[in-house]
Amino acid sequence: MITKNLVDWTAEEGKDYSYTASMYKEVVKQYLRYLTHCSVYMGGSYINYSVKGDNQKETIPVSKAKQKEAVKFLLGQIYEMPEWLNNKTLADHLGEMEDNVGELQTALTRLLTNPSMIGRIGTCAKSSNDPYTQQEFIKDVYETIWAKTIKGQSINRTDKLVQYVYIHSLLGSLDMLPAEVVKNKSFAFCLENSLNNDNQIEAIPVSAEELERQMTISTKESEVKIQSKSILYSQLTTIKSLLASRIPTSTGETRDHYKYLLYQIDKLMK
């Protein structure tokens, strides 16, 4: 609704479209905020500032249903994004925006295969009575991104991009990419950084008790992340088998796409 009418609402007769461009950026920023708010449900917890006598737990894990809802929403945004962000009227006046859309799709896809995110979900599952496990999370993501391939259906430009990024992200998470391949801090980097800030370093009091607590937390996170990587490796082998089975029955650009993805996996898994 907003992007469809942005030119009419913001452009002035006899002036350029710089104000329209700035307002478009603000719309995108607000959209990123919504995605960020949604992402915290994945592996998240509600915090209660409990006091003596209130019988409340300090933290309560987000329910499995709410986490699955958040994952479904974010996956949906990957595929719905081009319809409203890459608006033809805006593109006519502001220039082609497909690169921006692709970068946002890339960032969201990377988020869903990041070991830190999967580790968060694993940590949350340990303290939940009805856990949303890492395995179920990966299954939900896999069955969405590879749905058409699993069914032997034709795939479009967005499908190819997301599948490529998904595999590239898996390989990166498993330390299989060459050292010279680095993350591109582009339009989408702000999203990816804001949605995944587990690696930020904070100054902390270094009392003996605090140091012991931090070391314990670090160890627990490492254990979960190790498990996350084993799950991601299993996912990569599943995709490898899927691609190998679909290449003989595919044609044209789809066949070439699958062959290239399989080539990348084989090359980097050696």
Q: What is the pLDDT of residue 215?
A: 47
Contact 160, 257 (CB under 8 A): yes
Q: What is the pLDDT of residue 180?
A: 59
List, for the chain, all residue ranges whose pLDDT scores fall below the cut of 70: 1, 53-54, 82-83, 96-99, 179-222
Contact 133, 235 (CB under 8 A): no
Q: What is the pLDDT of residue 201?
A: 30
Closest-CA residue to 268 (of 229, 242, 237): 237
What's the CA gap between 142 and 151, in Å, rounded? 13
Q: What is the residue type of 188?
A: A
Q: What is the pLDDT of residue 8?
A: 76
Verdict on whether the full-model pTM lies above 0.75: yes
Contact 228, 122 (CB under 8 A): yes
